[in-house]
Structure 1
Amino acid sequence: MPLYTRFLKDLLTKKGKYINNENIMVEGNYSVVIQRILSPKDKDPGSMSIPCSIGVVSVGKELIDLRASINLMPLFMCRRIRNLEIAPTRMTLQLANHSITRSYDVVEDVLVKVRQFTFLVDFVIMDIEEDAEIPLIL
């Protein structure tokens, strides 16, 4: 490893402290990393809630779980939207608390709008109690 590379790496990781407070004339190419301090790495949020709409119905804030492999919609929300084609299915799901529950049905190819983006989503419909704050889980 060249000496200047090791010097810059130690300077950026604050292993080596540069004591003089004078300007240094750098000839040739230099890295932009020297000019700014790197921001600390943020932790993975796991899940968050964002506002969305399905058709003309504003759903409110939906929970986005980055670890989930299916999208859940409560039965009351499916009835509120009305114009969805429900396909019957036989499916059992094991929830995070290790309880086993049956799905009601499946709704395929639903257009979900989040800000200016539109996504095509399949939902598993569950007959669960109404939660006004988070009606969907994506």
Structure 2
Amino acid sequence: MEDLIKAFINKTDEMLETHGPAIREQGTTIQNLERQVEKLANLLSERVPGILPPDTERNPKETIKEVSLRSGHVLEDPKAKQKDELIEGQVEIVEEQNNSNIQEGEVMVDDVYAKFLKEILSNKRKVKETSVVKLTEHCSAILQNSLPQKCGDPGSFTIPCSLGNIKFKNSLCDLGTSINLMPLSIFKKLKGEIGEIRLIHVSLQLADQTAIIPEGIVEDVLVRVDKSFFPVDFIMINM
């Protein structure tokens, strides 16, 4: 026991020596952050509300520099253009640009159509033929405003299967239902080979709108279809 305590103490000392510098660095960083936050708080408290920090200053010299040539020649001041002259010049330039754009567009369109017609006449370009889409009987009947042809009843879909030692040649397989039913007489013939019935609180509504209460459910019954086994839950009904 003493050896375990000594080993624990040594391990703790090693961990403290390893993490000690990191902890001290974190403490120093936290102190620096506290100092910076304190400085910001002091600056905000000294600031006068409603005035920006950098106050603008007026021009102390109030002088203007002049550019002069070496020859001493004085240039004339540039004359500002009148508004009427500017507007007329802009209107003329815009009208010229619009006219040139329209003419170029007409020439391009004419060239494209002429090239297209030449290719069709010379059989260089083939016109796309319409593809044939086959519609189903229901779509065709809707478009033709007629009733689709009624097909005969294909009958029930049955497959052979086996439960335990009993084989069933014609087992009804209705793909539209979400539950599996088994007569109570079949369960009694199997004599407990497929498990026990567990009570469930459900009621089943049949096709003729009648309701029946099942005897219970048997879970994970192995049903053999050909060479494959499937676990199925059966609800037992007394027929």
More helix by share: 2
Do structure 1's residue 86 and structure 2's residue 197 form an aligned pair? Answer: yes
Q: Which runs of 4+ in 1 moved over 2 A?
A: 2-6, 42-47
Show the counterpart of 2:227.
Answer: 116
Go from structure 1 to structure 2 and tell me whether the alpha carbon gap of 1:44 and 1:114 turns closer, same or farther (over 3 Å shift): farther
Which segment is superposed worse, 81-90 or 108-117?
81-90
- TM-score, reference length from structure 1: 0.59
**How many corresponding residue pairs?**
95
Go from structure 1 to structure 2 and tell me whether the alpha carbon gap of 1:46 and 1:107 turns closer, same or farther (over 3 Å shift): farther
Go from structure 1 to structure 2 and tell me whether the alpha carbon gap of 1:5 and 1:111 turns closer, same or farther (over 3 Å shift): farther
Show the counterpart of 1:58.
Answer: 167
Go from structure 1 to structure 2 and tell me whether the alpha carbon gap of 1:107 and 1:45 turns closer, same or farther (over 3 Å shift): farther
Do structure 1's residue 73 and structure 2's residue 182 form an aligned pair? Answer: yes
Q: What RMSD over aligned residues (CA atoms) do the two structures have, in Å?
A: 2.6
Q: CA deviation at 1:102?
A: 0.4
Go from structure 1 to structure 2 and tell me whether the alpha carbon gap of 1:44 and 1:67 turns closer, same or farther (over 3 Å shift): farther
Show the counterpart of 1:39.
Answer: none
- Structure 2 CA distance for aligned equivalents of residues 78 and 51 of structure 1: 18
Question: Which has the larger Rg?
Answer: 2
| Equivalences for residues 35-46 of structure 1 within 5 A | none
- Structure 2 CA distance for aligned equivalents of residues 4 and 43 of structure 1: 39
Segments of 5+ residues of structure 1 without an aligned counterpart are: 14-41, 129-138
Percent same amino acid at aligned positions?
39
| Match for residue 107 of structure 1 among 218, 223, 230 | 218
Ranked by relative contact order (alpha carbons within 8 Å, sequence separation 6 or more), the top structure is: 1
Go from structure 1 to structure 2 and tell me whether the alpha carbon gap of 1:45 and 1:118 turns closer, same or farther (over 3 Å shift): farther
More strand by share: 1
- Structure 2 CA distance for aligned equivalents of residues 5 and 53 of structure 1: 55
Segments of 5+ residues of structure 2 without an aligned counterpart are: 1-126, 135-150
